[in-house]
Every structure is written in structure tokens, then in C-alpha cells.
Structure 1
Amino acid sequence: MTDVLENPQVLLEEVSAGLKAGSMVPYIGPGISALQEQVVPMGPEALADFFATKTTLPKRAQGNPWAAAQYIESYRFRDTVTLWMQEAFATAVAPSPFHAWLAGLPLPLIIDTWYAGEMRAAMAGRDDWAEVQGITRAGIGEDRWFRFYDAAGKAVDAETAAKAKTLLYTPHGGAVPDANFLISDADYVEVLTEIDIQTPIPEEVRQRRTGMGFVFIGCRFHDQLLRTYARQVMKRSSDRHYAIVDLDALTRNERRFLDEQGIQAIDLPLAEALESLMA
């Protein structure tokens, strides 16, 4: 990371302008909704804690939702993982003002990395968007990495989704409309085996990200899996990216990741940054 950080307000102005022009991709995480008290897990650790209320987890799986889901899948089968994920996210999460603001912008691509579906709900007033969700291939008997849905939640083909003005990409799946969950270690082993050659990333996402800047909002990269996904999703985009972060709270690996990927840190409290972006 650069020794001299750029003025965060100037950076926010750049981000706001890029979002309003549709030349930037928002890559959003659960930290946005976590600003308000929620009744669903808002973050990997919270999801692992939820699993721990359902069964006794081995030490290696405590605090790690991917290992926890793998343990449950191994001993209680995949259907139990899906059932408990549906239970974890059974309560609808209202979109925040920031989700609603994003939904009103001319964005070709929005990436939502959590399962709760707030961004999908925020888009409900529009009919010119589509969603592509990552899916587990466990037990489906299909050679597919993702599924497409229209604004009404009906499954569509890639060609139909490609016509949408805005494409919402949820790489880890989502609670709605069909409870597609990429969550266990086994799920990710399959994906990570091929993600270097981009196969699990939809072609339309690859097209729309080309030359775009990324802004990471409400995300953490304190796990290798999270860093790998972000690194692969932002391939072949522009060389100017941003992340709203609390620098003091970052791990060494997170700082290294931002530096390696050329991501400019905007060191501001998330709530304050969101208010500035929407101003």
C-alpha cells in the first residue's frame, strides 16, 4: 500500500462520479446492512456462529462457515446444509438507503457477495435487470456453475440475461429465488480448481467488467477464499480501484491484497463514506 494515502473525500468524489456514470462496478458485502441491527447473519463469522447453534462443531470449523458447512454436509448431508442456510436467511432484509441508491444508477454490473438478497430487493422497482447466481454442483447432475434469473425471479437463459441494462452478479449464490448456496469447502474446491481459467465466472460478467473500475464496499478480505474470488472477478478490468476500509482493522494479508491489486484505500468509517457517496 502506498505510504501516502490520497485524500479520502477526493477519492469518494471519484467513486461517486464513476458510479453515477456507470463506469465503475460496486462490489458490495454484508458490512453495509450490518450497520443496522439484523436478525440474519451478516458476515462469515456470524454465519459460522449460526451453524454452531444448530450442531456442535469441531474446533477447526468454529468461526469458519465454509468448514462448518463442510462438516455438516459430511455428517448430516447436503440437504441439511441447504435447510439451515434457508433458515439462517429466512427473514427478508430490507435494502438500505445505499442499496436503493445503487439501484437507481445506470450500472451495467453490480456484484453482491452475500446471501441475504438486499440488492435484489432494492432492484424490485425495475424490470430491466437480471441476476446471475453462483450455484453448488453438489447433487444437481449438471455441468453448470451458475444460473440466470429475470427481474421476476424466473429462470432464464444467458442470452436473455445479457439483454438486461443491469446485471446483478451474486457469485456465492443467494437465499432467493431458489436457495442457491455456494458455502461448503467442497463447493469452493470445485470452483477454485477452475477459477484461474475463469470458467466459473459467467461470460456476460467478464464482458461487462472489462475496463471498469471496482469499488469494494462493506467487504473484508481476511480469508484467502475471499481474496481469491475478488482477484479473479476483477481480472481484465481497469487499473484504478477503491475500497472503503478501516485501515487500522485490516490484517496484514488484507493490506498486502490491496497493495498487490492496486486498490486505493479510502480510510473512512463506512457509514460516513456511504452518506458522502449518496450526497
Structure 2
Amino acid sequence: MSEIIQTIKKEIRNQTTVPYFGLGVFENTKTKEGEQMPYDSDSMILMMNSGRPMSQRLMFEYSRAAMHLEQRRGVDYIQQLTNHIYTKDFAPTPLQKAIVDMSPGYIIDTNRDSKIQELLAYEPHSLIVGKARIMADKNRYEVYDYDVENKKYFLVDDEVLDDAKKILFKPMGSTLPEPNFIISDADYVDWLTEAMGGFALPSVLKTYRKTKKYLFLGTSFDRDTDRMVANELTLNLEGGYVISDKELGKKEKKFVHKHNLEVLNMSLEEFTQIFV
């Protein structure tokens, strides 16, 4: 197993394998106050609902629970709530640090925190942030360039990406440079609809992603939403790896097979210990 992990490290360094972060990377992450960060759908719902479970229908997937809260209390409420969750005081994970240290040219982070941005704070990079329900434009993203000297992001045109040495893509939003999140069913429906029309990624990424492998870290494929997002972001992939010690369900196995992914049967914690 350690041999294949060394191969993955080489592939990340030579830009042939793209790291793809999911919610599960926070399984062992606590805030400075000792509060567990959300690391799966259930824990996200509990965090949204002050630690209380919701109905079985709503507990099925956090985007459904978020939609329920949005309908009751408004879009601004769910956006502010998500920002509150991800601006809690917690440290980047050892795995996030290890991946950034390998200087991949392209990282996909489907989480909504800013920890990878903080790890990149001392080097030039471009940031792509996913957007939903924008009336004026079909594109479901915005592009930013990072000014290292002033530690600020500046909104720029897509052309900047042509010469970018490092790209961080946060398709589901981020707390920085301004809080913006794709989290409710309505957000996902809008984003996925435009993604299928080709409007969720800048054209440079559509070219760059061809024949790439992906390393799925903390990503579960047991929900339709996560599978559809991963499918859109990795079109024309060469294959890749999934780190998981859980028994895969029928739909997960089908997704893994269809995308030519190799499952490394180990926990993310075990993987991190070898990887770091």
C-alpha cells in the first residue's frame, strides 16, 4: 500500500493527479473550543440545527436540510449560518498541509472553509469560487487573483488563468474573499444545471482536466449530489484513487467502476500517516 501512495505523491508533484477534497477530511478536526467540525452529512445537519436532529426526510442529505431552513428563514440566513460554521477557529488538517507542500498546480476543494487559502497565503495563486443563482450571467463561478504583498484577492477575468502557476477551485464556495456558498438544494440544482451546459468551469480548466487522474480525499459517493458534482468537475478523466475504509454501496461501486477509480481500502487517518 505504501508503494502506491508513493506513486500518488509523485503524480501530484508532476501535475498528473489532481487532489480533490471532500467533507470527510474534517473527521478528526475540532475547533479551538473543542467543537467537532462537520465531516459528513449528518454532522453538518446537526451543526446547522444547533445539535438537534431533524426529521428523517431532512436527515437524508444536508442540502435538503439546508433547503428546509432556507424556506423557513431565508437565503441570507443559511448563507450566514454556513459562514458562521466555517469561520470557527480551527487549524488546517495535516493532510491539507501535506498536499499543499507538494505544490500541485490545481486543487479542487469542495469544502467551504478557507484553510487551503490560508496555506497558500504566501504564494501567488488564482482562486475560482463557485456561484449559484446569479441572474446576470450564466457562468457559475468568479475568478480571483491573489496579491501576496497585500494579502488580498482581486476579481479578475478568466484570461488570468492562462498563465496561473497554481489554481485553487472551490466550486461550492468559500468564506473568502467574501462569504458565498452553494449548500441548499436550490443552489445545487442551479449550479448543476449550468454545469451540464458547460458554465461551471472556465475554459482553461476544461482543457487542463483532460486525461488527469484525481485523488478523492474525504469524498463520499453515496449521494446523488456528490456523484453529479464529481462527474461534472472531472469530465474526461484518466482515472484516479478513492481513499475509503467503508463498504461501498451499489451506486458508489458503479460510479467508481465507470470512472476507473482505484479504491485504497484504508481510513483517511491511516492514509495521512503514510502520506505525511
TM-score by length of 1: 0.87
Report the Cα distance in structure 1 between the residues aligned to 2:204 and 2:105, rounded to whole angstroms. Answer: 10
The residue number in structure 2 matching 1:184 is 184
2:108 matched residue in structure 1: 111
Question: Is the aligned partner of 1:121 residue 2:118?
Answer: yes
Alignment partner of 1:147 out of 136, 142, 149: 142
Aligned to 2:62: 65
> Does structure 1 conserve the Cα–Cα contact (< 8 Å) formed by 2:145 and 2:156?
yes
**258-267 or 57-66, which deviates more:** 57-66
Q: Which residue of 2 aligns with 1:3?
A: none
74 and 55 in structure 1: CA distance in 2 versus 1, 3 angstrom threshold: farther
Instruction: Measure how far apart 1:64 and its partner are.
Output: 2.3
From the superposition, tell whether residues 92 and 176 of structure 1 become closer, same or farther in structure 2 (CA, over 3 Å): farther
When residues 57 and 218 of structure 1 are mapped into structure 2, their CA distance, relative to the original with a 3 A threshold, is closer
Aligned to 2:209: 209
Distance 1:247 1:75, change over 3 A: closer
Tell me if the contact between 1:27 and 1:113 (Cα under 8 Å) persists in the aligned partners: yes
Quick one: which of 13, 20, 25 aligns to 2:18?
Answer: 25
Q: Distance in 2 between matches of 1:235 and 1:69?
A: 28
C-alpha spacing 1:92/1:136, structure 2 compared with 1 (3 Å): farther
RMSD (Å), alpha carbons: 2.2
Query: Is the contact made by 1:131 and 1:168 (CA closer than 8 Å) also made in structure 2?
Result: yes
For 2:52 and 2:137, how far apart are their aligned partners in 1?
30
**Conserved in 1, the CA contact under 8 Å of 2:53 and 2:59?**
no
2: CA distance, partners of 1:194 / 1:275: 39
Partner amino acid, structure 1, of 2:61: N
**Structure 1 runs of 4+ with >3 Å offset:** 54-59, 140-144
Contact 2:111 2:170 in 1 (8 A): yes
Asked if structure 2 preserves the Cα contact closer than 8 Å seen for 1:15 and 1:277, the reply is: no
Matched residues in 2 for 1:44 and 1:18: separation?
30
2:175 is equivalent to residue 196 of structure 1: no
Which residue among 269, 272, 275 is the counterpart of 1:274? 272
Structure 2 CA distance for partners of 1:105 and 1:187, relative to 1, 3 Å? same
CA shift, 1:224, in A, is 0.5
* Counterpart Cα distance in 2 of 1:110 and 1:98: 13
Instruction: Name 1:244's counterpart in structure 2.
Output: 243
Structure 1 stretches of 5 or more lacking a match?
1-7
2:223 is matched with: 223
Deviation at 1:277, TM superposition (A): 2.2
Compared with structure 1, are the counterparts of its residues 34 and 153 closer, same or farther at alpha carbon in structure 2 (3 Å cutoff)? Answer: farther
Unaligned stretches of 5+ residues in structure 2: 147-151
Structure-1 residue corresponding to 2:86 = 89
CA distance in 1, matches of 2:3, 2:51: 46
Report the CA distance shift for 1:58/1:96 in structure 2 as closer, same or farther (over 3 A). closer
Structure-to-structure mapping, 1:130-169, within 5 angstroms: 130-137=126-133, 141-151=136-146, 152-169=152-169
Pair 217,54 (structure 1): closer, same or farther in 2 beyond 3 Å? closer
| CA distance in structure 2 between the aligned counterparts of 1:81 and 1:71, rounded to whole angstroms | 10
Q: Tell me the matched-pair count.
A: 267
Are 1:100 and 1:123, in contact at CA under 8 Å, matched by a contact in 2?
A: no
Q: CA deviation at 1:108?
A: 2.0
Displacement of 1:143: 3.6
Distance 1:265 1:108 in 2: 24
